[in-house]
Chains A and B, each alone.
Chain A
Amino acid sequence: MGSRGLLGVLAGVLLLMGCHRPASMSIAESGKTRLVYWTAPNPDELALARELVAEWMAANPDVEVVVQPIPAGQSSEEVLLAAVAAGTTPDLCSNIWPGIVEDFVEAGALVPLDQFPDFDSLLDARIPETVRASFRSRDGHFYQLPWKTNPVMMFYNVQLLREAGLEQPPRTYGEYLEAARRIVADTDGDGLLDRWMGYRDIRPIWWQRYFDYYAFYIAASGGRTLFDRQGNLAIDTMASNRVFAFFARLYAMGAFPKAVWTSGGSRFIQEQLATDFTGPWHLIWLEKNAPPDLTYDVAPIPVPDDHEGPVYTYGDYKNIVIFSTTQHPEVAWRLARFLVSRKADRRLLERTRQIPVRRGLLDDPYFAPVFERYPILRHFAAQAAYTRSVDSVPDLKEILDALAQEFEAAAVYGVRSPAEATRRALRRIQMILDWNA
Chain B
Amino acid sequence: MRRLGLYLLLGIGLVGFAYPFVWMGIATFTPEAEIPELTLLPSRWTLEHYRLVFERIPVWRGLLNSLVVALAVTASVLVFTSMAAYALAKLHWRGRETVFSLILFTLMIPFLLLLIPLYTLVVRLGWTDSLLGLIVPFMMNATGVLILRQSFLTIPRDLIDAARMDGCGELRILFTIVWPLSVPALVTVGLLTFIGSWNEVLWPIIVVREVQWMTLPQLVALFAVGGGAEGQLGPQLAAAFLLALPIVLAYLFFQRYFIQSFATSGLKG
A residues neighboring B (CB under 8 Å): 14, 17, 19-21, 71-74, 78-79, 82, 85, 261-264
Task: Give complex CA distance A85, B124 in Å.
Answer: 10
Residue of A nearest to B226 (CB): A74
Q: Which of B3-11, B98-106, B131-139, B227-235 contacts A (4 or more CB under 8 A)?
A: B227-235
List residues 219-267 of chain B with CB under 8 A from any CB of chain A.
227, 230-232
**Chain A to chain B contacts (Cβ below 8 Å), 6 pairs:** A17-B124, A19-B126, A20-B126, A21-B126, A73-B210, A78-B209
Known A-B contacts A73-B209, A74-B209; the reply to A85 vs B123 at CB < 8 A is yes
Q: How many residues of B contact A (CB 8 A)?
A: 13
Q: Are A261 and B209 in contact (CB under 8 A)?
A: no
Known A-B contacts A262-B227, A262-B230, A263-B232; the reply to A79 vs B123 at CB < 8 A is no
Residue of B nearest to A73 (CB): B209
User: In the assembled complex, how far is the CB of residue A428 from the closest CB belonging to chain B, in whole angstroms?
Assistant: 22
Residue of B nearest to A17 (CB): B124
Interface centre among B211, B231, B232 (most CB of A within 10 A): B231
Task: Give complex CA distance A73, B227 in Å.
Answer: 13
Give a binary string over B114-136; 1 marks a CB under 8 Å from any A CB, 0 the rest: 00000001011110100000000
Majority secondary structure of chain A interface residues (helix, strand, loop or mixed):
loop
Task: Give complex CA distance A165, B231 in Å.
Answer: 35
Q: Are B124 and A14 in contact (CB under 8 A)?
A: yes
Task: Give complex CA distance A139, B231 in Å.
Answer: 45
Task: Give complex CA distance A114, B26 in Å.
Answer: 63
Task: Give complex CA distance A403, B63 in Å.
Answer: 40
Contacts of A264 in B (CB 8 A): 231
Q: Are A79 and B209 in contact (CB under 8 A)?
A: yes
Contacts of B121 in A (CB 8 A): 17
User: In the assembled complex, how far is the CB of residue A370 from the closest CB belonging to chain B, in whole angstroms?
Assistant: 31
Q: Are A262 and B231 in contact (CB under 8 A)?
A: yes
Contacts of B126 in A (CB 8 A): 19-21
Q: Are B209 and A19 in contact (CB under 8 A)?
A: no
User: In the assembled complex, how far is the CB of residue B224 from the closest CB belonging to chain A, in whole angstroms?
Assistant: 11
Known: A17-B124, A73-B209, A262-B227. 14 other contacts (CB 8 A): A17-B121, A17-B125, A19-B124, A19-B126, A71-B210, A72-B211, A74-B209, A78-B209, A79-B209, A82-B128, A262-B230, A263-B231, A263-B232, A264-B231
Contacts of B124 in A (CB 8 A): 14, 17, 19
> Ordered nearest first, which 4 A-B pairs have the shortest CB separation?
A263-B231, A262-B231, A73-B209, A17-B124
Q: Which of B123, B128, B209, B230 contacts A263 (CB 8 A)?
A: B230
List residues 76-128 of chain B with CB under 8 A from any CB of chain A.
121, 123-126, 128
Interface centre among A21, A73, A82, A263 (most CB of B within 10 A): A263
List residues 196-210 of chain B with CB under 8 A from any CB of chain A.
209-210
Task: Give complex CA distance A19, B210 in Å.
Answer: 20
Task: Give complex CA distance A263, B121 in Å.
Answer: 40
Contacts of A71 in B (CB 8 A): 210
Residue of A nearest to B124 (CB): A17
Contacts of B210 in A (CB 8 A): 71-73
Contacts of A261 in B (CB 8 A): 231
Task: Give complex CA distance A21, B126 in Å.
Answer: 8
Task: Give complex CA distance A85, B119 in Å.
Answer: 14
Contacts of B230 in A (CB 8 A): 262-263
Q: Are B209 and A82 in contact (CB under 8 A)?
A: yes
Interface centre among B126, B210, B227, B230 (most CB of A within 10 A): B126
User: In the assembled complex, how far is the CB of residue A236 from the closest CB belonging to chain B, in whole angstroms?
Assistant: 34
Task: Give complex CA distance A82, B123 in Å.
Answer: 10
Residue of A nearest to B222 (CB): A74
User: In the assembled complex, how far is the CB of residue A73 from the closest CB belonging to chain B, in whole angstroms?
Assistant: 5
Task: Give complex CA distance A263, B227 in Å.
Answer: 9
